[in-house]
Amino acid sequence: MTAEIAILNKSAVVLAADSAVTIGSGGNAKIFNTANKIFEISDDNPIALMVFNRLDFMDLPIEVLAKEYRRVRSGSSFSTVSACKQDFLRFLSSEVAISDRDRKNNFATVCFDTMGQISVRFQEALDDHIRQTRKVLVSKFNGILKSVVESEIAMLESLPKADGFGKVGLSDEYKNIVNSFHSRFFPTMQVNQICTKLLHKLMSLKVSQTKLSGLLTGMVFAGFGDDELCPTLEHIEMDGILDNKLKVVDVKTVDIDRAGPAGDIIGFAQDDMVQSFVNGVDPSLRRYSQTLVQEAIVESARLVLSPIIKDAQKLEAAMVALQPDFENLSDGLKTKRDNYTRDYYTQEVQDMVRLMPKEEMANLAESLIDITSLKRKVTRDRETVGGEVDVAVISKSEGMVWVKRKHYFPSELNGRFQARAAKR
């Protein structure tokens, strides 16, 4: 994992990223604090690319592809950041050589992540079943798995399809990839034909719908096109090439201008400390407080009605009938809380950012990454944020300027590297 941040106002955009990268998963995972995550991708426009989560595209490092893109597009300018983003995605989908093996490996990666999530939900459902029945019946396992997979299918079918994707049918070869994970994720059972077909349908939907895998690649394009006086940020996420198309989901666009927002702070990946700073409360505590409010409303109603409605069945019927009112009340309180947070916390921070000089924006970005790393060190969380913090400031007049940047080599010993960089 990682922690990254973008801070924008009318004069500049600042990008900051830690250096941690996790290799492997589970107990075999290793964390290295040497990864590069911010890249200048245009020689002709002040535009940068910041990546998070999975740092490769179809087993090719994004760092290599970003620098190659900058080389082959030398002399090409872009009117907007959005135009640069679209051109970079075309470069990935049509100019980077992708083999059939790469496509199969990428599908297997998405399948691995999906089957892992289904396995966790299956185990939770199985544990609930055992607690309720006090029995462990292998004959029930496929029925429980069927229910879990059908629930996930229903959720995916409710989502729109990703751009460019229609109905996806898995070939026999790809079905065999899905089947190959049965023994790994469901070792205590023999997956029957019904569940096998449902898992095939699940993976076809996972390919076509807008929901991405947990192993997605996040990309942030930020800077200035020729026609942009103020900075723009485009945040996308993708799962690579699936069904011979690049699966991309647009997440957020921030366009700083005179008519729109004048400043913003956006966190990516592990952004809990950024949200705490901007909104005045930890996001997990915020979610938990909403759950407590919902429970308090229901329990308060039960306490009021219990002395009035003595019959247990009638009491439960009344509680069910009142459920829409409970939800409306909870939503209304949530809206009031969010409005208060916006007015007394978020807006004040955005107003401060709107007037910040570039140097102070860079210091703030670095500090927020540092405090995220510090929190991982002093709590039981794995130290998935760490290493040196790279900070870049992008402005219309100065272009992209590194405030802090690590190298894996001593720069004073590599004069030829500096000379090559100066000629670029």
Dump pLDDT digits (tens) for 193-204: 999 999 999 999
Task: Name the pTM for this structure.
Answer: 0.90
For the chain, the average pLDDT equals 92
What gap in Å lies between CA 66 and CA 382, rounded to an integer?
29
Q: Which two tokens stand for residue 129?
A: 């079943």
Asked whether the beta carbons of 223 and 47 are under 8 A apart, the reply is yes
Dump pLDDT digits (tens) for 365-396: 999 999 999 888 888 777 788 899 999 999 99
pLDDT band at 30 (very low <50, low <70, confident <90, very high): confident
148, pLDDT greater than 90? yes
Asked whether the beta carbons of 248 and 236 are under 8 A apart, the reply is yes
pLDDT of residue 33: 85
Asked whether the beta carbons of 73 and 47 are under 8 A apart, the reply is no
Write down the domain spans for the chain: 3-99+213-280+359-423, 100-208, 283-346
DSSP per-residue letters across 61-123: EHHHHHHHHHHHTTT---SSHHHHHHHHHHIIIIIS---HHHHHHHHHHHHHHHHHHHHHHHH
pLDDT of residue 410: 84
Range with lowest mean pLDDT among 128-132, 135-139, 226-230: 135-139
What gap in Å lies between CA 4 and CA 338, rounded to an integer?
24
Range with lowest mean pLDDT among 322-331, 348-357, 412-421: 412-421
- Return all residues near 11 (Cβ < 8 A) that are at least 6 apart: 358, 395
Q: Which fold has domain 3-99+213-280+359-423?
A: Glutamine Phosphoribosylpyrophosphate, subunit 1, domain 1 (3.60.20)
Dump pLDDT digits (tens) for 223-282: 999 999 999 999 999 999 999 999 999 999 999 987 778 899 999 998 898 999 999 889
pLDDT of residue 25: 66
Work out the burial of residue 339: count CB atoms within 10 Å of its CB; fewer than 13 is exposed, 13-18 middle, 19 or more buried.
exposed
Distances (CA, A) of 157 to 154, 160, 167, 200, 212: 5, 8, 11, 14, 14
27, pLDDT greater than 70? no
Q: Which two tokens stand for residue 383?
A: 């130290």
pLDDT of residue 26: 62
Region 57-74: what's the mean pLDDT? 95
Q: Within a 10 A sphere around the Cβ of 21, how many other Cβ atoms?
A: 19
Q: Within a 10 A sphere around the Cβ of 229, how many other Cβ atoms?
A: 11
- Return all residues near 185 (Cβ < 8 A) that are at least 6 apart: 115, 116, 118, 119
Q: Which two tokens stand for residue 149?
A: 């997979």
